[in-house]
Structure 1
């Protein structure tokens, strides 16, 4: 019985507990049901529908009233929280230190026209109400910005939508006008008469008609080979392909400055033809310039491309994008006397400009193999100049432009720098190059445009410069130097040659074209955005040549970054410098290595040094003038017991080195004298306390100088100024700065000195043999550790030294074609005469104690 009672009692307890549990669960379900927003909304809708069926007014309900009350309470709670937050923030601002608001990163206003020779262009083409902050846009994002708020298809196919909505431009076929051009017809007549004179038969009318028809057929083929076939459809298709390709190739995007595009738009509205003059680094430049201009709403230009790019399939696409093909070499080749070709090319360019087309040509001729800006090839520029001078065009706006890459798309030029022949472009080589490029990340790309410069204004300015008007007497040779007077015009005279000038062009005209061309190259080089790989490579080859730890390298990169920014250079990277350093080392890849303890150093090989030098040379060109000055200074003080030097001696030695390196650098704009640029560099080194201007403390010396000056003033009517003297600072900063500037030019001077030594040893050789022997000598010295600069093994540097010796009259050319032999001029056949000339080059390659310290 007791057992039954116990069991019953337990059952009752379980029933009560389960009932309590059921009640709790039911209460929870009811709470969720009536508090859930979705269920409440559903019940409210059902209630309103039922009330509507019953004829009740459902505009207000209990649920809506409760919601309104809750929203009101939430609104007041939010206001109270905002007031409390502002009160606490004001208290912190009042009691704490004043922290200025962060300023947006700005870049220097790069790409401005020269204030000396183009002041009107400098003040034009820009909105005075808008400040140039240096903002950079990624042109790949233009489509996304334009169609971000469009439909679903537009958002997901923004690149395609952007390309389909690009402007359709009308490109008139100018071939019929070129055929009828007077200069082309005269060239056809002259070629026909020349062929008649060479013919053996008599001068009959039938023969003349036959020969003229043959010449006309040849001229028509030349014109057809030159002409482009620009098409808006091809442009839009290539623009879409470029969107996909550039996104894959350039992980950092393709940037251009907003202010530059706005200036181009304002200049384009003036109705004058725009002539884009970019520096040339890669085959990708052809497409990238057109791609950038087309996407930003500007008319794509006709592009002068070398006939080596006329390869199957790809050549057709380039022609559809505006390429017109020109012969890579006319002067000194079998086409040297082909006046029909010259006339056809000139007529095609002028008729294209008259038809309202913009024009683009690479003023350096070919791609730079060293990374430095090259001296201009002024053939097409001379055509435009002639068109302006004879009144064919009223004016043209020249636009220097530049492109730069974190990692070069074409790969490096190590093979060609080591003397191997250039590989010609073919269909299969183009396919291999495209495949290799598409599977490699090349970092960021920058496309920059300078201010448009009026050709009319440039011509007017250069006609006023007196230091170009003195007659050219004799070539500058080391025994015949009057550099302070002759150097500027002699450099222009030595470099002013082109196959499109014609025989009746004056020397002054050639020099003016050369001066304008060098000015355009200099402006474009100064406006080039320096990428992180450029700066890091320069630091590795100069300040950290023996290697440095990662923190040391980061500190030196930060110092060089600050110095370049202070000089007004645009740096094409932003963000934390350690991240930029890591990115640059990743881009440089196998040419740098990590040693024990994380020490970073350039790989010890000729190929690695040449590749690093390619990227570093963009910065080397910036430091050319101070490096020349520091090298000249070191040549004077090395081995001298005195560490004191006069300004006149330093200036004369600097001008001599400027002449030696005239094929390597354009140290200043042609409107500025090289002597003045060197004086500015002296002042800059003095301001950095690398050299110290000596102050005269002796009153007797000042009094004696005053008496001498007074006597000269009475005798000559003018008192000369005292010549400043300088001493070398011995602080660690001054020694490090001098060493950096010496290492900037040292590899070039090693190549020049080796060329002179090889010339003394051989005496006579073909140009190719001299280059090969010098390369072998430099390579042997590097492998035996007699010379530590692998980048000195450079074909370009050796050839430039040979050009210099030819300009000096030391070498003469005999023969023609590739078998041309270089012989010593009779005046330099004597050993001592050649030795004296070579000494003027080799003396700057001195054994400085600064280079032995580390």
Structure 2
């Protein structure tokens, strides 16, 4: 199966790689060139191919030398699972392998380009293959639920409650108030509900077959995932597709994927900002139902009628047998990292199961990734400028610009569906084991709607909120783990975190190969194959000169016979200045989740050893050591700081175990070494004794006791030291943002600011220090990260939030409203900025 995958992916890669040799602009201009012009273009193309071949020859020669001088390593056997992204064995063991048919197992390794259609046997199907294929796709009924929604008891109660409030607050006559409430409910539903049309789906699919190849080379899905989802759809249980959100193209791609594979298309939750002329109607006919971006017009005052209409519509759609799709992050990620889950729609689906509206649902985490982001970039928004609203003119310009671009390949990954019933039961059991749910601290001025249901916290207890939050975090974690890693992601990650000042092509190929092997061994989905040099050149072409600069430089290379020879090398340098670096960081962040725990531990290691790590005497004596419990404690503290940036573990896992696993990876890679000799004989015996038993409380006690005494020594050899610096750099931009966000707290002592003004004040502080050279990373200037830092301080009870009409007012709590306390918060984060200055 591995051989089949390798062969198939190489064929796909060859198809789109050959199409990128000559830019589209050059192809369009061939007809306008003279004979001499054509010859020049051909000569330039041939020269470029020769240069690439020469680079490949040199790299292979260097690799042969390394092979001869190093020990032969026996490759470990492949442990690739039958289905790449199975559901959790702890939470949903009954769902695992439920949809893994024999056919899916056999097709596991084959990737399928959905843009390619096999012509049928007839002459007509050969000439009009796309039209014929679309015509023969299976037809589904998509019933409207307008009548059942308007007659639902839940919505009727909300109508009467709204009317009663109007009578009480505005003095409106009861009958008139009731009529107004009913009329508004009908209007809300009319503006909200989807008008999915099978005919429009077919027309759109045909258009996409003609349009997508203009700007993407392939749309790839594993055949095993297609078979898995088709089998799940045949169960009759509604599917709930929950993808991460990167682009407006996400819902088009997933709907296209489901339609062409004879899977019932989903109703899709979409923001009402997309209800623009023409395109809004088209999306509505393709399954979109529109939700207001701000459900409550005034903070702290719930629009009960709108909430009830939305909740009833979603629940009745599930009852009618519709599949659903929604983006659990709320909006598109602006940083390239997965966002924390928003619980609104998910809470409705859980409620639909709990109240018996549906017997079960199959939840499918999903991820779509692009070699180049189709929507452009989010530089404006990350640098503090307001979001541009979607308009008809902007949509036309965006489509025209997209069609003329080169966006490489698009990859879709579907995780194994799991039973909502099974997951809810497991979480309920876990909550019951924990006893009573901890009540939140009473904060009368704080807005707590982020994890509440659409009806609000008044009808949703803490246990239910924890259930929905745990489910949401599990889905985001699984989807992030399944997210394809594109060539542009890995190249940008290497350049920003390893070779920020530039490198040669040879150096880039070496580290690319190393990380590629690591990620493959960890079971990550690398959406590229072939020779690393070809992949890197393709990625650099996609990223473009605005993000990465390439130059040919003349160098003098020393030969074996001590002579020197002039050679030309390709120097590659990332554009690490604003605003370009913000966009490059977006691509880099597609990989950061896979290294975040290792980076957490290395940053904690630096913070623990900050008084010694730059001490020449300690370095000379090679005496940089740290105890396991100290390192683990620092790592937990950093996880608490960055808890709004990453989901470090599945909810069913323990953070302490995840940190311990990351420490062991550092031991295995040689960055730190275990000092076994520091254990007493009794402690060594207790560790050996613990390993001989399973599921024993004595074992746990022995391991915990022994682990507190484990000591690690820092390895300062060049290779380990370089790896350590690389991992430390991964989180430094984020730590810098949080550090200077905390520093700004001292400037608001005795003051209150709106959310916008507070974010702007922090932004100016970081920008000032960036200009002074105190902040070293341009991507630290990120509005989304600043807002997450503000959330962290609010969660720590450092900041108080007071909702006021359409904004929020922030001020320091009484115990932190002084310079000493504010400075203590700053120092608790600043300790993780510590870095090495002595090589």
TM-score with structure 1 length normalisation?
Answer: 0.80
1:299 aligns with 264
1:563 aligns with 518
Please list the CA deviations of residues 349-375 of structure 1 after superposition, one character each: whole Å capped at 9, or x if unmatched. 111111111000000000000000000
Larger mean CA deviation between 786-795 and 815-824 belongs to 815-824
**Pair 1:434 & 2:408 matched:** no
Q: 1:592 aligns with which of 542, 545, 548?
A: 548
Q: 2:86 aligns with which of 112, 116, 124?
A: 112
Alignment of 1:763-782 (within 5 A): 763=749, 764=751, 765-782=753-770
Partners of 2:536 and 2:590 in 1: how far apart?
A: 17
Partners of 2:758 and 2:382 in 1: how far apart?
A: 15
Q: 2:573 aligns with which of 587, 594, 601?
A: 601
* Conservation of the 8 A alpha-carbon contact between 1:107 and 1:134: no
Tell me, what secondary structure is at the counterpart of 1:503? helix
1:474–1:356 distance in 2 versus 1, CA, 3 Å = closer
* Conservation of the 8 A alpha-carbon contact between 1:399 and 1:451: yes
Please list the CA deviations of residues 363-400 of structure 1 after superposition, one character each: whole Å capped at 9, or x if unmatched. 00000000000000011110111111111110000000
1:475–1:692 distance in 2 versus 1, CA, 3 Å = farther
Shift of 1:531: 0.4
Say how many residue pairs are matched: 718
Alpha-carbon RMSD = 2.7
Alignment of 1:334-413 (within 5 A): 336-413=301-378
Shift of 1:165: 1.7
Shift of 1:837: 1.7
Partners of 2:310 and 2:761 in 1: how far apart?
A: 39
Partners of 2:300 and 2:146 in 1: how far apart?
A: 22
**Pair 1:535 & 2:490 matched:** yes
Alignment of 1:275-674 (within 5 A): 275-330=240-295, 333=298, 336-465=301-430, 469=435, 471-472=437-438, 496-589=451-544, 590-595=546-551, 597=553, 598-640=570-612, 643-674=624-655
Shift of 1:753: 0.8
1:684 aligns with 665
1:573–1:469 distance in 2 versus 1, CA, 3 Å = farther
1:510–1:332 distance in 2 versus 1, CA, 3 Å = farther
* Conservation of the 8 A alpha-carbon contact between 1:275 and 1:397: yes
Please list the CA deviations of residues 470-489 of structure 1 after superposition, one character each: whole Å capped at 9, or x if unmatched. 54267699xxxxxxxxxxxx
Q: 1:138 aligns with which of 97, 109, 113?
A: 113
Shift of 1:257: 0.9
TM-score with structure 2 length normalisation?
Answer: 0.82
2:44 aligns with none
1:106–1:621 distance in 2 versus 1, CA, 3 Å = closer
1:696 aligns with 677
Q: 1:739 aligns with which of 699, 714, 725?
A: 725
Please list the CA deviations of residues 181-207 of structure 1 after superposition, one character each: whole Å capped at 9, or x if unmatched. 110111111111111222447xxxxx3
1:72 aligns with none
Partners of 1:693 and 1:379 in 2: how far apart?
A: 47
1:615–1:495 distance in 2 versus 1, CA, 3 Å = same
Please list the CA deviations of residues 139-185 of structure 1 after superposition, one character each: whole Å capped at 9, or x if unmatched. 011x2x142x431x422321122112222211111101100011011
Please list the CA deviations of residues 207-251 of structure 1 after superposition, one character each: whole Å capped at 9, or x if unmatched. 322221111111100011110100011111111111122111102
Partners of 2:757 and 2:108 in 1: how far apart?
A: 53
1:236–1:705 distance in 2 versus 1, CA, 3 Å = closer
1:759 aligns with 745
Tell me, what secondary structure is at the counterpart of 1:721? helix
2:777 aligns with 789
2:3 aligns with none
* Conservation of the 8 A alpha-carbon contact between 2:225 and 2:414: yes
Tell me, what secondary structure is at the counterpart of 2:335? coil
1:721 aligns with 705
Tell me, what secondary structure is at the counterpart of 1:696? helix
Partners of 1:753 and 1:708 in 2: how far apart?
A: 39
* Conservation of the 8 A alpha-carbon contact between 1:109 and 1:134: no
Shift of 1:520: 0.3
2:788 aligns with 800
Structure index of larger Rg = 1
* Conservation of the 8 A alpha-carbon contact between 1:602 and 1:608: no
Larger mean CA deviation between 184-193 and 731-740 belongs to 731-740
Partners of 2:648 and 2:78 in 1: how far apart?
A: 33
Alignment of 1:120-199 (within 5 A): 120-128=94-102, 130-131=105-106, 133-141=108-116, 143=117, 145-147=118-120, 149-151=121-123, 153-199=124-170
Partners of 2:609 and 2:687 in 1: how far apart?
A: 29
1:622–1:367 distance in 2 versus 1, CA, 3 Å = same
Tell me, what secondary structure is at the counterpart of 1:422? coil
Partners of 2:489 and 2:675 in 1: how far apart?
A: 37
1:815–1:400 distance in 2 versus 1, CA, 3 Å = closer
Shift of 1:122: 1.2
Please list the CA deviations of residues 382-420 of structure 1 after superposition, one character each: whole Å capped at 9, or x if unmatched. 011111111111000000011000000001101100000
Larger mean CA deviation between 722-731 and 664-673 belongs to 722-731
